[in-house]
Structure 1
Amino acid sequence: MIATTQHILDNSIETDYSKSISIEHRKKFAQFFTPFAIADLMAKWILGNKNLKTILEPAFGLGVFSRAILNNKKDVQVKGFEVDETILNLAKQYFDESKNVNIVLQDYMYNDWKNKYDGIICNPPYFKFHDYDNKNILKEIETNLKCKLNGFTNLYTLFLLKSIHQLRINGRCAYIIPSEFLNSDYGKLVKAYLIKNKTLRHIIVIDFEENVFDDALTTASIILCANDNLTDKVQFSNIQSLDDLGKIENIIANYPDLVNTKQTYHQSELNPVIKWKAYYQNQNSIRFKNLVPFSTYAKVVRGIATGSNEYFTFNLSKAIEFNIDEQYLLPCICSAKDASSTFFTTTNFEALKQNDKAIFLFNAQNSTDENVKKYIQKGERDGIDKRFLTANRTPWYSLENRKPAPIWVSVFNRTGLRFIRNEANISNLTSYHCIYPKPTSLFTEIHIDLLFAYLLTNTAKQIFDDNSRQYGNGLQKFEPNDLNKGMMLDIGLLDKQTANKILSLYKNYKDAILNKKNGEEIIEKIDKILVDKFGDKKNQA
């Protein structure tokens, strides 16, 4: 047993471990340690069960949660599961004299299904669907919970669902997990289970000014559940930093008397299909009227995925090295940083080409050129043809059929979405999504400019923000369907005079940008026109 309270009541054990064990080992087992202040907060929720006798820690690590609980209540039996023998041996040394702590070297997801506990507390491994044995673990979930989930479900949510299943009457569960599932497609079935189960009590979203987990690019949420009948409400809370934990402690102490706020809902009010950020984050779209899905006017798809950018991307030097003629190379923007302006022109493309940037993709299907054949053979010798994406193509070196998109949009953002007009008419890799305006009667070529002018405004970006996915340190991500299902102002309702005024301003903006001048004031004028036309005065701030 640890002899001093210093080691128990802080993260010094975890810090020493992180210094002595390689980052590769920790990433292999998805070991991102919980700050003790958060572990202690979660422990308070578990300790709120007056009949607390048995504790389960499904991903034990170095027992940060058990330390927090045992510091307050020593007469409980703790069981822990761990799959990493290295950290297990250290944990057993730490808890050697604690006869009420039993840690086993077993995979929690395949064991212990029949046992029930008064308290379950966990920071599960953050593995995505392709990082674990998802087929067999999903089968375990389906068999034991009678619940069928999406094959893209991440492992941490499966830990959570199993733990809820293992709660005794009046038992409590506390998990800290990435917030991703709250707003993802695979999360819909997870959220449906949580609503049906009726144990969900509180979701605390740790906002994005800092990462809770060192080295983990993710935002976190604390999920508190209780297998009791004391309330049918769920409360959502936001905390900006560890300094805000005090208000959550008050909510825990006052349970089941939840504070009646705009972020408190009856279970029956929760909709598993929508992004749950609508329940804990102000929605920009409510400030506007006449909204339609973006898919009304355009379709968003991801850029070209090669399966091996190192092999498929070319600059002029590489083309010369392998004697590949330019007719077998597809012009393509291969790096997001190479398109830094709002307009990507043929001049920009030629400049990148002359600066020997990677701006081509190997595109040699049906070629009889001997040098092309040699490069294909090189790919086969290097095993490129056996990679996941290439192995599923015929022939393996063929590119995805993706015509150049007139508009690109950035995938990851910190300062809002970036839209780029692809005037060079070249292809793009997955650092950008492709936007294809739909060929309706509305969209002649000039109206593509009207759409692009709209996309450049803060109004458009703020409305899209309602559908974003949040990662650590303020990083946003948009999948294609986040944009397709996102809302936009119905610019088809603009009268001809207003549309022409916007197009005239857009032309001025384009001239300014191409002449390396600042055009922000012009975009602000377009924004004001849209707010005047579509602003809902009842909901304006």
Structure 2
Amino acid sequence: MRQKRHQSLPRAGSEREALRSKGQFWTPDWVAEFMVTYVLRDQPKQLLDPALGEGVFFRTAKRYAELHRFELSLFGRDVDPDIVAQARQSGLTDADLRHVEIRDFVLDPPSAKFPAIVANPPYIRHHRLSPLQKAILRDFARIATGRNIDGRAGLHVYFLIRALQTLSPGGRLCYIVSADICEGVFADVLWQWITSQYRLDAVITFSAEATPFPGVDTNALVFCIRNERPEERFAWVKCRRPDAEELVALLSGNGRKKYQSIEVHERAVAEALSTGLSRPPSETTPDRYMLGDFATVMRGIVTGDNDFFFMTLSRAKELGIPESLLVKAVGRMRDIDGEEISPADLERLETRGRPTRLLSINDFPFEQLPPTVQAYLKEGEYRGLDKKTLIRTRRPWYRMETRKCPPIMFAYLGRRNTRFIRNHAQVVPLTCLLCVYPRQTDAEFVERLWKVLSHPQTICNLKKVGKSYGGGALKVEPRALERLPLPDELVHSEKLDAFLGLKQGSLDFGET
């Protein structure tokens, strides 16, 4: 069989939605090669793939066993009844597939333990699980770990717990999964349990150029775990090219002094759990200051229906909506070209036909509104807006969230354009941006804080608090952004540290 580098993914439509609902993202052959090398290193008699897919791990394991001349029985699970036919088409025989069962691995696990388990679990996010499914899975996790796993964990989290339970003493598990498994709100509890019960041998991360899943908005990691007494240190690896050779050497125990396509760091488990398993090792002493020392962070406004509430100034005039009921706003990160937005930029957006006004009717009873505005709101009711999920709990339904104009905004989801934006246009952001409110409103303090935030050293620190996604993208939530380390030397050079000793009043930035 010709080896596959990557799965061909539909970009949109029903096929893309079906892919999301099943969570089926096939492992490329070069990744399967080093994963199988790790779990078969001790030449076990059995291997389990609990999410068979098209059978890449079976094919790779067959080749490995033949090359190293030992007998290996293949066992598999999947919930997709069509999967066995796909596996046959990939080159596997009926003999290879005789121990494959169409059964739910998490909720209907095998009774036997296995010395080698290799898996690419279905990637199904929590919002695609029904309330009943979530309740059952959380009960399972609580019994298995003795801990409560947050309900925002996806199916792949529970899959990992079951895989570890199914591992025989001394057995090896290799598990490829999205980075949110060690970045989500559930991660601390999960990994404290894993690293207290099992030995973490290695974590393999990938640069954007080496990603196993191009075109997927998630960042992949591979975990190598043994059912043995935990150790204090493990190998943290960054793979920079889609090439298995050096990873095979490392994971087979034939490590090298120098590598070309991978970086290998020996890390303390405690440091990695603190820094984040998906993030590079922390090589410096902890920074003394965080953004939260100098500012608070809030998400932007959720309108519930941008098409109705967010409009151009010209459309507002056509509808007869007075400017007193409008708030200047920005709705897309790409509507801000650089690191500042000015009133002139807002005018240019309006000239280009981009919406810049948010309907905000919070202080007037319906009867006191102009007839034109009443008519527009009635049109919204006719369209069923008052029944929409994010709107129906508001009283009245057209009541809008409010935000003070943030002096600084943050573009929190991006690949190469994550940045802090100075807000000279007095706009409020929708959910595309975060609001950063300096604890001092003094104009000079705001400018100095923005200068520190925009510095490349600070931007580089975002990876310490952000969630990683495909293609090198980062997403930083409000509370995480408040934990953003600010380099000591930048804080001192801009004299921001003086702020921490002040309870009130303005700051003296005079030279000494």
Computed over aligned residues only, the root mean square deviation of the Cα atoms, in angstroms, reads 3.4
**Aligned residue number for residue 450 of structure 1:** 448
- Structural mapping, 1:398-477, within 5 Å: 398-415=399-416, 417-439=418-440, 444-477=442-475
Q: How has the CA–CA distance of structure 1 residues 13 and 339 changed in structure 2, closer, same or farther, with 3 Å as cutoff?
A: closer
**Aligned residue number for residue 79 of structure 2:** 83
**Aligned residue number for residue 524 of structure 1:** none
- Structural mapping, 1:378-397, within 5 Å: 378-397=379-398
**Aligned residue number for residue 516 of structure 1:** none
Using the alignment, how far apart are the partners of 2:448 and 2:197 within structure 1?
48
**Aligned residue number for residue 355 of structure 2:** 358
Q: Are 1:32 and 1:214, in contact at CA under 8 Å, matched by a contact in 2?
A: no
Q: 1:501-525, CA deviations, whole angstroms, 9 ceiling, x for partnerless residues?
A: xxxxxxxxxxxxxxxxxxxxxxxxx
Q: How many pairs were matched up?
A: 480
**Aligned residue number for residue 372 of structure 1:** 373
- Structural mapping, 1:242-257, within 5 Å: 242-243=242-243, 245-254=244-253
Shift of residue 448, structure 1, vs aligned partner: 1.3
Matched letter for residue 36 of structure 1: D
Matched letter for residue 470 of structure 1: S
Q: Are 1:205 and 1:237, in contact at CA under 8 Å, matched by a contact in 2?
A: yes
Using the alignment, how far apart are the partners of 2:287 and 2:55 within structure 1?
53
Shift of residue 224, structure 1, vs aligned partner: 0.8
Using the alignment, how far apart are the partners of 1:359 and 1:292 within structure 2?
35
Using the alignment, how far apart are the partners of 1:88 and 1:113 within structure 2?
18
**Aligned residue number for residue 189 of structure 1:** 189
Using the alignment, how far apart are the partners of 2:4 and 2:10 within structure 1?
10
Shift of residue 469, structure 1, vs aligned partner: 3.0
Shifted more, 422-431 versus 269-278: the winner is 269-278
Q: How has the CA–CA distance of structure 1 residues 91 and 497 changed in structure 2, closer, same or farther, with 3 Å as cutoff?
A: closer
Q: Are 1:195 and 1:270, in contact at CA under 8 Å, matched by a contact in 2?
A: no
TM-score (norm 2): 0.83
Using the alignment, how far apart are the partners of 1:498 and 1:290 within structure 2?
13
* Helix, strand or coil at the partner of 2:391: helix
Shift of residue 251, structure 1, vs aligned partner: 2.0
Using the alignment, how far apart are the partners of 2:169 and 2:289 within structure 1?
46
Using the alignment, how far apart are the partners of 2:389 and 2:236 within structure 1?
40
* Helix, strand or coil at the partner of 2:65: coil
Shift of residue 23, structure 1, vs aligned partner: 3.2
1:131 equivalenced with 2:132 (yes/no): no
Q: How has the CA–CA distance of structure 1 residues 273 and 16 changed in structure 2, closer, same or farther, with 3 Å as cutoff?
A: closer
Matched letter for residue 332 of structure 1: A
Q: How has the CA–CA distance of structure 1 residues 367 and 49 changed in structure 2, closer, same or farther, with 3 Å as cutoff?
A: farther
**Aligned residue number for residue 334 of structure 1:** 331
Shift of residue 457, structure 1, vs aligned partner: 2.2
Using the alignment, how far apart are the partners of 2:210 and 2:105 within structure 1?
30
1:27 equivalenced with 2:20 (yes/no): yes
Identity of aligned residues (%): 23
Shift of residue 161, structure 1, vs aligned partner: 1.7
Using the alignment, how far apart are the partners of 1:101 and 1:308 within structure 2?
52
Q: Are 2:7 and 2:28, in contact at CA under 8 Å, matched by a contact in 1?
A: no
Shift of residue 271, structure 1, vs aligned partner: 5.8
* Helix, strand or coil at the partner of 1:482: helix
Q: How has the CA–CA distance of structure 1 residues 290 and 38 changed in structure 2, closer, same or farther, with 3 Å as cutoff?
A: closer
Shift of residue 240, structure 1, vs aligned partner: 0.5
- Structural mapping, 1:79-118, within 5 Å: 79-91=75-87, 95=92, 97-98=94-95, 101-112=98-109, 114-118=111-115
Q: How has the CA–CA distance of structure 1 residues 372 and 60 changed in structure 2, closer, same or farther, with 3 Å as cutoff?
A: farther
Using the alignment, how far apart are the partners of 2:230 and 2:273 within structure 1?
22
Shift of residue 123, structure 1, vs aligned partner: 0.9
* Helix, strand or coil at the partner of 1:124: coil
* Helix, strand or coil at the partner of 1:160: helix
**Aligned residue number for residue 63 of structure 2:** 71
Structure 1 or 2: larger helix share? 1
2:482 to 481, 484, 506: 484
Shifted more, 344-353 versus 74-83: the winner is 74-83
Q: 1:81-125, CA deviations, whole angstroms, 9 ceiling, x for partnerless residues?
A: 223334344336664521653333333221116432122111112
- Structural mapping, 1:231-310, within 5 Å: 233-243=233-243, 245-254=244-253, 263-265=265-267, 267=269, 269-270=270-271, 272-277=273-278, 280-281=280-281, 286=285, 291-310=288-307
Shift of residue 60, structure 1, vs aligned partner: 1.4
Q: 1:45-100, CA deviations, whole angstroms, 9 ceiling, x for partnerless residues?
A: 121133x2332222211111111112333743433222333434433666452165
Shifted more, 157-166 versus 373-382: the winner is 373-382
Matched letter for residue 302 of structure 2: A
Matched letter for residue 405 of structure 1: P
TM-score (norm 1): 0.79
List runs of 5+ in structure 2 lacking aligned partners: 499-512
Q: Are 1:76 and 1:100, in contact at CA under 8 Å, matched by a contact in 2?
A: no
Q: Are 2:467 and 2:474, in contact at CA under 8 Å, matched by a contact in 1?
A: yes
Using the alignment, how far apart are the partners of 2:100 and 2:187 within structure 1?
31
Using the alignment, how far apart are the partners of 2:276 and 2:496 within structure 1?
37
Shifted more, 462-471 versus 212-221: the winner is 462-471
Shift of residue 282, structure 1, vs aligned partner: 5.6
